[in-house]
Amino acid sequence: MTQLNITLNEETLKELMLGNRDEALRKLLEAVFNAVLQAEASEQVGADLYERTDERQTYRNGYRERQFKTRVGSLELLIPKLRNGTFSTTLFANYERSERALVLALMEMVLQGVSTRKVSNITETLCGTSFSKSTVSKLCEELDKEVEQFRRRPLTKAYPFLIVDAIYVKARDAGRVKSKGLLVAIGVNEDGNREVLGFKAGDGESYEIWFSFFSELKEQGLHGVDLVVSDQHKGLVKAILEQFEGASWQRCQTHFSRNVLDKVPKKTQREVKVWLKDLYNSPNLEEARMRKEALVDYLEKYAPKAVEILDAGFDDITAVFQLPEVCRRRLRTSNSIERVNQELRRRERVIRIFPNEASIERLLGSLLIEMHENWISGRRYIDTAAYYGTREHFSNTSAEVLKNKQHNSTHCGKGIYTNI
């Protein structure tokens, strides 16, 4: 792993602690970016600065300055130049994707004449005062290609766990402001890592829209789904049951708790919330059923509608008990998409109303891609070793995946749970 050497002077440290934190953050980010560029240059040259080594491929040839605009200010970056060949970096592409999407949404609003003074001021600061419709169109086209390439990529692994939800925003459509939904699918692959499998903007989340969305994912290669987690939207549940025959459906326990608490008197809601949490944390299905019956006895006198919801939904909220205990906590709700909501709301405070449907997919898609890149390079989300060890409880898992894991374990000497 490459080490980065970052030097901060005393003045910057004081600003971080006591003074102008925005300026201090700008200087810190500038130092980090320049350190990354230096590290990338060392890798491509094959040697550190002034290092003598037989592995050297070429020599440095000075720098070129570049202004890089971010929301914490403009950064002064020194881009290395090489004597033979061209220095390349992925730093800007990875960092700029969601930034570009945000700025493009603002620029579109200005061109359409629907921007607020705040939006106009931000856009002028980030982009300058002069930009044409053709320029914006070209920039949108370039970013749309990146987003679409990600959306259409092949899904080659098995995804035993699928978490789906819809996020609602406002966008302009044919001169009117309408509510738009962005369907999002997050999968946990056979190695236990989360991936953003796909997303799609539309007018809502009807059965037809969800069915079409799942069909597209399956065409890309989605397979091996054993458990799908979602809320109880009727169109969504119907599409899940038809598209993933043999898989179990786990109703989001967070949404279920809200449904129950809505039918409980306010003075007892806090107490009932504790009862529900205790039910969800049961060690096994039998104990969960006993705790549910105790809660029913407690509620049936003054909250009969809550009892009806508990009785009708119990099997749906306990599907996760089929899994090993170490896998349950992260698969009993659809809260994995919560960070997407947080990032969206942070940008929505600036945009408020998206200029069109395409800008929703462009901006939120860029955010989802960045999340995906962080997830696949990070720690495992689910212990798939425990999951595959109890595979006989599931009907829809790819047998080939388990067979490959067993084969690898024989050759590697690390047991059945060796990652592939």
Q: Could you list the residue range(s) of the whole structural domain that residue 29 is in?
A: 10-89
- Residue 31 falls inside a structural domain: yes
- Residue 256 falls inside a structural domain: no
Report whether 180 contacts 171 (CB < 8 A): yes
Amino acid at 388: Y
- Residue 136 falls inside a structural domain: no
- Residue 265 falls inside a structural domain: no
Taking only the tens place, the pLDDT of each residue in 363-385 is: 888 888 888 988 888 889 998 88
- Residue 257 falls inside a structural domain: no
CA distance 295 to 214: 37
Report whether 272 contacts 264 (CB < 8 A): yes
pLDDT the model gives residue 371: 85
How many domains would you assign to the chain? 1
- Residue 37 falls inside a structural domain: yes
CA distance 359 to 361: 5
- Residue 51 falls inside a structural domain: yes
Its pTM surpasses 0.75: no
Averages of pLDDT over runs of 10 residues in the chain (420 residues) are 56 60 72 80 85 85 79 79 80 59 56 49 50 62 85 95 91 89 94 94 92 97 95 94 95 96 94 96 96 95 94 96 92 83 69 82 84 86 84 48 46 32
